Amino acid sequence: MTGIPLSQPDITEQDIQAVVDTMRSGRLSIGPKQSRFEEMIAQRTNRSRGVAVNSGTSALHLILRALDIGPGDEVITTPFSFIASANCILYVGAKPVFVDIDPSSMNMDPAKVEAAITSKTKAILGVEVFGDPTHMDRLAQIAGAHEIPLIEDACEALGGMYKNRPVGSFGRAAVFGFYPNKQITTGEGGMIVTDDDKLADICVSLRNQGREDMSLHDPGCDSQTGSWLMHTRLGYNYRLSEINCALGISQMDRLDQILDTRRNVAEMYMRRLMGFKDLIMPNLHEIEQRSWFVFVVRLSDLYGQTERDRIVQGLRRHDIGAANYFPCIHLQPFYKQRFGYDRGMLPIAETVSQRTIALPFYNRMEETHVELAVHTLSVMLQREQLLISKEA
Ligand SMILES: *Cc1c(COP(=O)(O)O)cnc(C)c1O
């Protein structure tokens, strides 16, 4: 056996055919597949516009640029996330202001967000960590009351529903990512969604080298006007190819089915892990439809980081994929160095992040594989219990 991976993409023959057809079509960038993929994500999130880009990180970068956030500005965000959600704030020269989390959802605590707002705060960047949308409605209210935009980093939560609204519909804009471990993949890719045409138009320009005339689809056809080589702002090449978009469309066609299979795997885990008194299960409170990104359990406070790390390593030694999602961003070496952050600054995020374990999780994960992962985890847990009782 080659083991059970932490995650793996789900690519069908139909996905492959869509990619091959696009490669034969002669149009490999800025074409109908991009428009269709944008429409599909916008529609799914109840938004009027979608802007496809080449990664979730690029999407975050562009939305901060489009909101004109820069040096001297502060953006409030979570320390418990994938690093891109804070790095994008550094890309534009602004300062990330980290606030502590609520231990149940592992998302920012709204009261602490409100308390962190200053005259320099130019946005709140909320993350639906592991697909949990909890508090996004509250963050939207707080942002609204202070007349600052909420940016929703929904990279881990595509297709979820919360308080009768789709994930991605809460902020001034939301972003998604399509790396191979996400709910749907384009290989690499990302998307901005918004109802704000001006913001969307700026993102469209920024992803395409700062070009202004977006009716242009073919660089060969505008040599008279020369506008293909007219750049009105500092842009980037963050375009997503037609090949990637074709894969995205094909994956989106079966998003509901994908979410169902993932929910089924999560339920298999829950059923088997429910009785483990030392494990805290993922939060499901008030979430109509959780879009499962990863399956993360948390060790009770009886255990510390040493025990958690040994369990993760033990799982891996048995060829069971496992990870410490997520180490706190403020404690990453270059954040510590640059801002002088240290342990103790955000105690809840730190306590949580020392005890989380991501287990193997992907579409159509077989029941026997879930069983094996759970069994191995239980052996590792028993070993740690024994060690702890010896120390006591
Ligand atoms: C995946 C992810 C991103 C974007 O990642 P890319 O690899 O750049 O597509 C951003 N934020 C969060 C929270 C993520 O999980």
The residues, any chain, with a CB within 8 Å of residue 304's CB and separated by 6 or more, are 354, 355
- Nearest ligand 1 atom to the CA of 188 is 9
Mean pLDDT, the chain, whole residue set? 95
Q: Which two tokens stand for residue 366?
A: 């077989």
Taking residues 258-263, what's their average pLDDT? 97
Structural domain spans, the chain: 13-252, 255-391
Nearest to 99, CA basis, from 122, 81, 116: 116
Amino acid 248: pLDDT: 98
- Residue minimizing CA distance to atom 9 of ligand 1: 56
Taking residues 261-287, what's their average pLDDT? 93
Taking residues 151-171, what's their average pLDDT? 97
Taking residues 111-138, what's their average pLDDT? 98
pLDDT in tens, 350-390: 999 999 999 999 998 999 999 999 999 999 999 999 988 88
Give the Å distance between the CA of 344 and the centre of ligand 1.
26
User: Would the CB of 128 count as within 6 Å of ligand 1?
Assistant: no
Taking residues 223-235, what's their average pLDDT? 77
Amino acid 191: pLDDT: 98
Amino acid 230: pLDDT: 86
Amino acid 215: pLDDT: 52
Taking residues 107-112, what's their average pLDDT? 98
Taking residues 327-344, what's their average pLDDT? 96
User: Would the CB of 155 count as within 6 Å of ligand 1?
Assistant: yes
Amino acid 213: pLDDT: 62
User: Would the CB of 130 count as within 6 Å of ligand 1?
Assistant: no
pTM of the model as a whole: 0.95
Q: Is the pLDDT of residue 52 over 70?
A: yes
Confidence of residue 392 (pLDDT cuts 50, 70, 90): confident
User: Would the CB of 153 count as within 6 Å of ligand 1?
Assistant: yes
Which superfamily is assigned to 255-391 in CATH? Aspartate Aminotransferase, domain 1 (3.90.1150.10)
Q: Is the pLDDT of residue 39 over 70?
A: yes
Amino acid 219: pLDDT: 53
Amino acid 143: pLDDT: 98
Amino acid 212: pLDDT: 82
User: Would the CB of 57 count as within 6 Å of ligand 1?
Assistant: yes
Helices (H), the chain: 13-25, 32-44, 56-66, 84-91, 110-116, 136-145, 197-207, 242-253, 255-273, 305-317, 333-339, 347-353, 367-391
- Nearest ligand 1 atom to the CA of 181 is 1
Spell out a b/e string for 372-388, using b for 16 or more CB atoms within 10 Å of the CB, else e: bbbebbeebbeebeeee
pLDDT in tens, 200-211: 999 999 999 999
Amino acid 391: pLDDT: 80
The CATH code of domain 13-252 reads 3.40.640.10
d(CA 61, CA 373): 37
Q: Is the pLDDT of residue 112 over 70?
A: yes
